[in-house]
Amino acid sequence: MYMFFRKLVEIFFLHIKYKATVLNKENIPSLKGGFIVACNHQSYSDPPVLAGVFKGHFSFMAKSELFKNKLFAWIIRQCGAFPVVRGAKDTAALDRAVEDLKKNKIFIIFPEGTRSKDGTIARAKSGVAVIAGMADAPVLPVCIMYAPDGKKRHCTIAVGKLIPKEEVAVSDMTDRKQIKRASSRIMNDICALQKQICDKYNIPVPTPEKKADIVSEKTSDNVSENASKRSDNNNI
């Protein structure tokens, strides 16, 4: 049943909904599982797109709200999803992730914890480093971008080199410095992959809007508007 659903997902998301391009295919591990796929988060389509790229049994967290509909919950469970309560210290979800890795499954995680609205890559939350440390598992950095060539149905997935478990090891789960070091190591590789995709299509790397500039522009507009009003009043 699982492999049937996985094949349907691959056909639909990599060949029908999107025309997918995979960069650095040589970096796809020959391992059937037991490693973490850490990817930036752009769309609800990310999990099935990744499931179509890698072969094996998958496991990934999905926000608990998605499990309220029984039919949809059944479908995503068949694809390896299990619920997590966002914004809470869900230790059961962490334990499940570690357990699945030890069962030789491929665990997919989006370190940022939420989808990016502007294509930029944010800092990682602690989850990816904690799970890698608890499971003593290597991490495969991946970056995904939709329509990098301007064509809506195109998506590109860049696969990085597998990061050895020793390089993301966390011996003390209460040590924030160790967790930050491991998280940064993973995110730096994902950012490098994003740059590779952007270079391929000759486009700039996405950058966040500068809120300070926006505020400054609004303030400037308000000052100009107020000055104009005062001038009009003086002329009356």
Task: Dump pLDDT digits (tens) for 36-68.
Answer: 999 999 998 898 899 889 988 999 998 888 899
Note the pLDDT of residue 219: 38
Assign residue 6 the CATH number of its domain. 3.40.1130.10
Note the pLDDT of residue 10: 86
Residue 217 CA: distances (Å) to CA of 59, 60, 208, 230: 46, 42, 16, 20
- 10-24, 46-60, 71-85: which has the minimum mean pLDDT? 71-85
Number of domains in the chain: 1
pLDDT at 120 over 90: yes
Average pLDDT, the chain: 86
- 121-135, 145-159, 205-219: which has the minimum mean pLDDT? 205-219
pLDDT at 2 over 50: yes
Domain assignment present for 233:
no
Domain assignment present for 172:
yes
pLDDT one-digit tens code per residue, 167-211: 999 988 889 999 999 999 999 999 999 999 999 999 999 988 754
At 230, the pLDDT band (50, 70, 90 cuts) reads very low
Note the pLDDT of residue 210: 57
CA dihedral (40, 42, 47, 48) positive or negative? negative
Q: What is the 3-state secondary structure (H, E, C) of 102-159?
A: HCCCEEEECCCCCCCCCCCCCCCCCHHHHHHHHHCCCEEEEEEEECCCCCCCEEEEEE
Q: Centre a 10 Å sphere on the Cβ of residue 135 and count the other Cβ atoms it contains.
A: 20
Domain assignment present for 224:
no
Average pLDDT for 202-225: 58
pLDDT at 80 over 70: yes
Domain assignment present for 201:
yes
Q: In this structure, are residues 137 and 33 in contact, taking their beta carbons and an 8 Å threshold?
A: no
At 91, the pLDDT band (50, 70, 90 cuts) reads confident
Domain assignment present for 86:
yes
User: In the chain, pLDDT over 70 holds for what percent of residues?
Assistant: 86
Domain assignment present for 101:
yes
Average pLDDT for 69-92: 82
Domain assignment present for 163:
yes
Note the pLDDT of residue 223: 38
User: In the chain, pLDDT over 90 holds for what percent of residues?
Assistant: 56
Residue-range definition of the domain harbouring residue 63 = 2-205
Domain assignment present for 211:
no
Note the pLDDT of residue 90: 73
Average pLDDT for 157-167: 97
